[in-house]
């Protein structure tokens, strides 16, 4: 008992040390990004920066502050372009501002990448905190057992730490499927367990049991949507280790980790998975992590989804927070490189549908390039048709 207690204490100490390291790493990255972006804002848009600070509306995250800088610089360029058409602006001033916009866009891309890495670190941090809490509970139970045995003045019983062997057969089977597939949704795991005869009906109990034992994380995206939003799953480090020890194989990488590296937030991951489900209901075969496509001009483009039907593949973007500016324009141009003259978007609601239609229309008017816009509004979807698009419009 003493040996096990000491091992538990050492493991807890190592976990807490790693927890502190993750906290410091996430905080340092966030501080460095914000400091650099504040310097950039004071350099490029001092008046707008001072005004936002005075009014208390200055963005508080790297990605939001980078978008704020890009939006303000873009607005200045647009105003100067209007004046330039009337020959009322110095071309050198416009050229200088365009260089500033390029710098702002580079910083925004860096901020978006950093935001995703920081979000992943924060989720790792949350996972470590859960594992540490579970370990504290196990240590407390071990200490209580030791006190009870000593009080009873009997020889301590030999006990082994909790292991996958102590799980129910249903939870153990769920661990096996999660480890084999890396699945991030309950439904495919449950369907496989039903097909194998492990479950007689749908149940969340195996997942809840794995979560209680610190082997599984279940995250609920914060989205405003019609219907129930599913939990997104990933095995913890302890869960991956348990899979290796019990099944003697290397587990698949959790799909949620792969998607978070690409989409930065649980909410965007959920929208992509929901979009894939809808497209599949309309007969498409969907790749939720399509490989980056190299275009003829050497550009690497990583679309959200690749959907194939009747031998034709289309590339689809999922939009929750589309913002005005060059970032959205680049997204349109990338999509057209992949889809010819067609744009395909999936959005969660009518407000975002209106935003996408408006931004696409502005781009087409500015570039004088006609495109066919397809939008799937999940809130207004008619499942009785042959295609999922709630808006199909020729613009430009």
Give the domain CATH number at 343.
Answer: 3.40.1350.10
Both 282 and 170 in one domain: the answer is no
Residue 148 lies in a domain: no
CB-CB contact of 316 with 305 (8 Å): yes
- Total tally of structural domains belonging to the chain: 3
- In the three-class reduction of DSSP (H, G, I as helix; E, B as strand; rest coil), residue 47 is classed as helix
2 half-sphere exposure, CB direction, 13 A CA radius = 2
Helical axes 2-44 vs 46-55, angle rounded to 10°: 120
Residue 137 has a CB neighbour count (10 Å cut-off) of: 12
pLDDT digits (tens, 9 = 90+) for 96-128: 777 777 776 676 666 666 666 666 666 766 776
Q: Is 340 left (phi over 0), alpha (psi -120 to 50) or beta?
A: left
**The last residue of a domain, from among 233, 262, 291:** 262
Predicted TM-score of the model (pTM): 0.59
Residue 381 lies in a domain: yes
Residue 193 lies in a domain: yes
Residue 33 pLDDT: 73
Dist CA 396 CA 327 (whole Å): 20
Dist CA 385 CA 392 (whole Å): 13
Residue 258 lies in a domain: yes
Q: What token pair was written down for 119? A: 């979000």
- List 287's β-bridge partners, or say none: 306
Both 81 and 174 in one domain: the answer is no
Residue 270 lies in a domain: yes
CB-CB contact of 294 with 327 (8 Å): no
HEC sequence for 126-190: HHHHHHHHHHHHHHHHHHHHHHHHHHHCCCCCCCCCCCHHHCCHHHHHHHHHHHHHCCCCHHHHH
Radius of gyration of the chain (CA): 26
Residue 156 pLDDT: 39
Both 305 and 354 in one domain: the answer is yes
Q: Output the average pLDDT for the chain.
A: 81
Both 271 and 344 in one domain: the answer is yes
Task: State the DSSP code for 253.
Answer: P
Residue 383 pLDDT: 78
Percent of the chain with pLDDT over 90: 42
Instruction: Give the residue with greater pLDDT, 252 vs 5.
Output: 252
Domain extent for 243? 162-262
Residue appearing with tokens 């370990």: 135
Residue 2 lies in a domain: no
pLDDT digits (tens, 9 = 90+) for 139-182: 666 666 656 655 554 333 333 344 444 889 999 999 999 999 99
pLDDT digits (tens, 9 = 90+) for 291-342: 888 877 777 888 999 999 999 999 999 998 877 778 888 899 999 999 999 9
Name the band, by pLDDT with cuts 50, 70 and 90, for residue 83.
Answer: low
Residue 43 pLDDT: 78
Alpha helix (H) residue ranges in the chain:
2-44, 46-55, 62-85, 91-152, 169-181, 186-196, 205-212, 237-247, 255-263, 266-281, 326-339, 350-367
Provide the sign of the torsion angle of the four alpha carbons 182, 188, 194, 196, taken in this order: negative
pLDDT digits (tens, 9 = 90+) for 202-237: 999 999 999 999 999 999 888 765 557 788 999 999
**Backbone φ, ψ for residue 291 (5° rounding):** -65, 155
- What CATH number is associated with residue 216? 1.10.10.10
Q: Is the pLDDT confidence value at 192 over 90? A: yes
Instruction: Measure the CA angle with vertex 306, ends 302 and 309; round to 5°.
Output: 160
Dist CA 326 CA 329 (whole Å): 5
Dist CA 370 CA 396 (whole Å): 4
Dist CA 240 CA 236 (whole Å): 6
Of residues 254, 282, 259, 257, the one with CA closest to residue 270 = 259
Cβ partners under 8 Å of residue 355, min gap 6 = 319, 322
Residue 146 lies in a domain: no
Cβ partners under 8 Å of residue 93, min gap 6 = 80
Both 296 and 372 in one domain: the answer is yes
Dist CA 255 CA 252 (whole Å): 8
């Amino acid at each position: 008992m003493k040996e096990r207690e000491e091992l538990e204490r050492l493991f807890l100490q190592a976990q807490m040390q790693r927890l502190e390291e993750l906290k410091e790493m996430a905080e340092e990255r966030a501080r460095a990004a914000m400091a650099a972006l504040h310097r950039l804002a004071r350099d490029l848009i001092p008046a707008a920066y001072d005004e936002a600070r005075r009014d208390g509306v200055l963005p508080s995250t790297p990605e939001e502050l980078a978008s704020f800088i890009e939006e303000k610089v873009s607005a200045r360029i647009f105003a100067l372009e209007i004046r330039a058409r009337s020959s009322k602006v110095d071309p050198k001033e416009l050229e200088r501002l365009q260089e500033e916009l390029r710098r702002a866009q580079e910083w925004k891309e860096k901020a978006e990448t950093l935001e995703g890495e920081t979000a992943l670190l924060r989720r790792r941090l949350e996972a470590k905190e859960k594992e540490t809490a579970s370990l504290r509970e196990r240590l407390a139970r071990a200490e209580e057992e030791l006190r009870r045995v000593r009080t009873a003045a009997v020889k301590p019983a030999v006990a082994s730490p909790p292991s996958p062997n102590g799980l129910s057969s249903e939870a153990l089977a769920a661990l096996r499927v999660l480890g084999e597939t890396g699945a991030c949704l309950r439904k495919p795991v449950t369907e496989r367990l039903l097909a194998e005869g492990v479950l007689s009906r749908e149940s969340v109990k195996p997942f809840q049991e794995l979560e209680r034992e610190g082997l599984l994380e279940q995250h609920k995206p914060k989205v405003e949507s019609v219907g129930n939003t599913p939990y997104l799953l990933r095995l913890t480090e302890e869960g991956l280790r348990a899979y290796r020890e019990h099944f003697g194989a290397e587990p698949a990488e959790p799909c949620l980790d792969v998607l978070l590296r690409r989409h930065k937030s649980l909410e965007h991951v959920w929208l992509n998975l929901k979009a894939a489900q809808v497209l599949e209901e309309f007969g498409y075969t969907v790749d939720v992590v399509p490989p980056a496509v190299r275009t003829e001009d050497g550009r690497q483009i990583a679309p959200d989804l690749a959907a194939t039907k009747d031998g034709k593949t289309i590339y689809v973007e999922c939009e929750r927070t589309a913002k005005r500016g060059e970032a959205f324009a680049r997204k349109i141009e990338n999509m057209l490189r992949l889809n010819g003259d067609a744009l395909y978007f999936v959005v969660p609601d009518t407000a975002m549908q209106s935003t996408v239609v408006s931004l696409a229309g502005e781009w087409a008017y500015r570039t004088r390039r006609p495109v066919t816009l397809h939008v799937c509004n999940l809130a207004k979807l008619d499942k009785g048709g042959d295609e999922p698009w709630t808006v199909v419009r020729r613009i430009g």
